A and B are shown apart, each in its own frame.
Chain A
């Protein structure tokens, strides 16, 4: 059993953790940024002393990372409050702020937020006024590429806190073929603090449960090259289990939203893979029939050995090429590669 297989087996069923090689499991979990999630899954189990110490440190580290992520979200809320625009937290920050099961041990890197496209300029100016700085050279190729074609501003980094923020106006690059309905994402978002007046836009919001799954699926299968995808798929597993338990009408709602955002295929694929790798209970209709290519996606997600090294270079390269193909029409892709080769 490869280390990545051992990792998903341990996350699914903590009783199976460490029946092979602890070093391989820990290295794979760190490489996939799942060490915090694994540490909480193993909490309270009878582990070898050294393993328990490593897991305890990982839990302590996660708890601290959570505090930092929540603080960063709050700093952003304060910086943007005068604008009165809706501010939607995405991904890990949203899970933590809402206290979802997916947040347990979840690592958080950058702060990802979604705001209406019309307010992008004002949001960027307000952030820069509050201490964030541009990371990309202004008007350089990368900067212009982001502004013209991407679903987010070029990343900003805070001068003193050294934390990055990605300001999104939708959930896929403008160049991708599916066109998610960004206005609907924001309109259906949920206030974290229901006490704040509706529409005031001064509080933090998260996506609705179906949109959260749609975004996670889009991020995993319609955008990137699946590097680090085991964690994103673990998010989907945790979210689906929680949403299904809370709302019997979750599956039809998800089907409707996936269709609306033109992401039905990505959502179906993510459900099939979550079921295949993590045993997620999924609605067979939403997941659709298994396809032969599912095995390739699973193999790509599991391309990690017990030294934490990525393996299967040809497969990874194929998915890397696929990610560019999905993101860019051929002519734009050619121009992009030309510019990158010259720089």
Chain B
């Protein structure tokens, strides 16, 4: 394709091709400092005109690649960076078969990993982003990769996707050069991507042993409750995109995770109290 770029994110290498220059340039700026992926990539993503003439006239970006959703809506070129991110997510959700993929954020301390999972809007991205600036190593804000053989967690520290209110929270905390452009009017409202810090990038190849699973929920009075293994298992099967297609290997990996670490659900009214609750539960789990 006319414009292209390769990216290494944790154990996964992407090749992204685009009919337009601007999404590739935006990606290159956002992912400055990531390691060189080498010659062979795991997945190919393509940003193409939805129809041939939509390259020039009201440019419309169709997300294509090795694995696609046939009915994915095309996006405006102004949101080309988001289209590239969605294209990479799609490859992971549909094509990742080397790890059990959990829709979860994760952070690491002392070689042990904290997994944060919940529905969209539960605040896992924001919490992980904040923890990543406050003494933890960010492993990823979107996907956690559980090893099928060793049960350890691999980092997938792509750019953090901050939405709406979370954008201002992080803008107060982090230097401006780590942010991508602010994208208004996306299907999920305003989005701004943030590059993880140097520590997260340097250690991206280091796995961690899962030690605690949390199910955060934003917008409620502060409360924490333990969650039984059966419920944790069920919720994590729902949070996994490839649990079914991995068959027995996925089951073994997930039961290993559930049996090996405690879990709790936390409700929180604001991010600062959530951070306190996380630190306290982490200390109890240690």
Contact = CB atoms under 8 A, between A and B. Distances in A.
Interface of A: 22-23, 26-27, 30-31, 48, 50-51, 53-54, 56-58, 60-61, 64-65, 67, 307-309
Interface string B26-68: 0000000000001111101010100000000000000011110
Given A27-B66, A58-B97, A309-B1, 12 more contacts: A23-B15, A23-B39, A23-B40, A30-B44, A50-B13, A50-B38, A50-B40, A61-B245, A64-B247, A307-B1, A307-B44, A308-B66
Contacts of A53: 98
Contacts of B48: 309
A67 B245 CA distance: 10
20 contacts: A22-B40, A23-B40, A23-B44, A26-B40, A27-B66, A30-B66, A48-B39, A50-B38, A57-B97, A58-B97, A60-B97, A60-B246, A64-B245, A67-B247, A307-B17, A307-B46, A308-B46, A308-B64, A309-B1, A309-B48
A169 to B, nearest CB: 28
Contacts of B122: none
A128 B228 CA distance: 37
Contacts of A64: 245-247
**How many interface residues does chain B have, given as a range?**
20 to 34
Contacts of B1: 307, 309
Contacts, number: 53
A57 B66 contact: no
A32 to B, nearest CB: 11
Nearest to A49: B40
B42 A50 contact: yes
A336 B41 CA distance: 44
A57 B246 contact: no
A158 to B, nearest CB: 14
B170 interface: no
A48 B40 CA distance: 9
A259 to B, nearest CB: 39
B221 to A, nearest CB: 37
Contacts of B67: 30
Q: Which of B44, B65, B98, B249 has the most CB of A within 10 A?
A: B44
Q: Which residue, A51, A54, A65, A67, has most C-beta atoms of chain B within 10 A?
A: A54
A51 B40 contact: yes
A60 B66 contact: no
Contacts of A26: 40, 44, 66
Contact of A23 (B41, B46, B65, B246): B41
Contacts of B64: 308-309
Nearest to B250: A64
A230 to B, nearest CB: 16
Contacts of B15: 23
Nearest to A25: B40
Interface in B1-37: 1, 13, 15, 17
A320 to B, nearest CB: 16
Contacts of B42: 50, 54
A306 to B, nearest CB: 9
Nearest to A67: B247
A60 B249 contact: yes
B10 to A, nearest CB: 13
